[in-house]
Structure 1
Amino acid sequence: MFPGAIADRDDADYVVVGAPLDVSTTFQPGTRFGPDRIRRFSETFDDYDHHTESHFSDLGVADHGDVRAWDDAAEYLDYLEGVCTDVVWDDATPLVLGGEHTVTLANVRATDPDTFVCLDAHLDLRAEYDGNELSHATVTRHVLDVADEAVILGARTGSEAEWNRASEADVTVVPPGDVADWEPDFGDRDVYCSVDIDGADPGFAPGTGTMEPFGLAPREMRDVVRAVGETGDVVGFDVVEVNDRDDGQAASLGGKLLREFVFADAVGSV
Structure 2
Amino acid sequence: MGSNGKKEDNVPELTHLFYLPTLPDAHSTYSESRYVIFGVPFDNTSSYRKGSRMAPDSIRYAYNNLESFDPWYNVNFPDIPICDLGNLEVGEDAEEVIHTVEQVGSRLYMDGKIPIMLGGEHSLTSGMVRNIPNANMVIIDAHSDFRDTYMGSKFNHACITRRCLEILGKGRIFSVGTRSTSKEERESGIMDEVSFYSARYVKKHGIEVVLDQIKESISGPVYFSIDMDGFDPSFAPGVGTPEPYGLSDTDVRTLINGLGKKIISFDIVEMTPVYDNGNTSMLAAKLIQDFIGSREGIVE
Task: Determine if the TM-score, normalized by the shorter chain, exceeds 0.5.
Answer: yes
Contact kept in structure 2, 1:23 and 1:71, CA below 8 Å: yes
Shift of the 66–26 alpha-carbon distance from structure 1 to 2, 3 Å rule, reads same
Name the structure 2 match of 1:255: 285
Secondary structure in structure 1 of the residue aligned to 2:167: coil
Residue by residue over 1:162-205, the C-alpha shift from the partner in whole angstroms, topping out at 9 and shown as x without a partner, is 23458644311111133323114154322100000000111221
Question: Which aligned pairs between 1:85-124 and structure 2 lie closer than 5 A?
Answer: 85-124=106-145
Contact kept in structure 2, 1:113 and 1:192, CA below 8 Å: no
Name the structure 1 match of 2:19: none
Identify unmatched segments of 5+ residues in structure 2.
1-21
Contact kept in structure 1, 2:74 and 2:297, CA below 8 Å: no
Give the partner amino acid of 2:219: D
Distance 1:17 1:204 in 2: 24
Name the structure 1 match of 2:276: 246
**What is the TM-score with the length of structure 1 in the denominator?**
0.93
145-154 vs 27-36, which moves further: 145-154
Distance 2:59 2:134 in 1: 25
Identify unmatched segments of 5+ residues in structure 1.
none
Match of 1:154 among 155, 163, 177: 177
**What is the TM-score with the length of structure 2 in the denominator?**
0.84
Larger Rg: 2
Question: Which aligned pairs between 1:39-54 and structure 2 lie closer than 5 A?
Answer: 39-54=60-75
Contact kept in structure 2, 1:108 and 1:236, CA below 8 Å: no
Give the partner amino acid of 2:95: A
Secondary structure in structure 2 of the residue aligned to 1:192: strand
Q: Does 1:201 align with 2:253?
A: no
Name the structure 2 match of 1:182: 210
Residue by residue over 1:79-138, the C-alpha shift from the partner in whole angstroms, topping out at 9 and shown as x without a partner, is 121112111111111110000001111111133342110000000110011222110000
Secondary structure in structure 1 of the residue aligned to 2:232: coil
Shift of the 251–201 alpha-carbon distance from structure 1 to 2, 3 Å rule, reads same
Give the partner amino acid of 1:18: G
Residue by residue over 1:215-236, the C-alpha shift from the partner in whole angstroms, topping out at 9 and shown as x without a partner, is 111111111122121xx22221
Name the structure 2 match of 1:55: 76
Name the structure 1 match of 2:89: 68
Residue by residue over 1:125-170, the C-alpha shift from the partner in whole angstroms, topping out at 9 and shown as x without a partner, is 1001122211000011101122132100000011123234586443
Q: RCO greater where, 1 or 2, for CA within 8 Å and sep 6 or more?
A: 1
Distance 1:191 1:112 in 2: 11
Aligned residues: 266
Name the structure 1 match of 2:253: 222
30-39 vs 106-115, which moves further: 106-115
Shift of the 40–89 alpha-carbon distance from structure 1 to 2, 3 Å rule, reads same
Distance 1:69 1:103 in 2: 11
Match of 2:265 among 209, 212, 236: 236
Residue by residue over 1:53-96, the C-alpha shift from the partner in whole angstroms, topping out at 9 and shown as x without a partner, is 11112221110110022111111111121112111111111110
RMSD: 1.6
Secondary structure in structure 2 of the residue aligned to 1:37: helix
Shift of the 249–94 alpha-carbon distance from structure 1 to 2, 3 Å rule, reads same
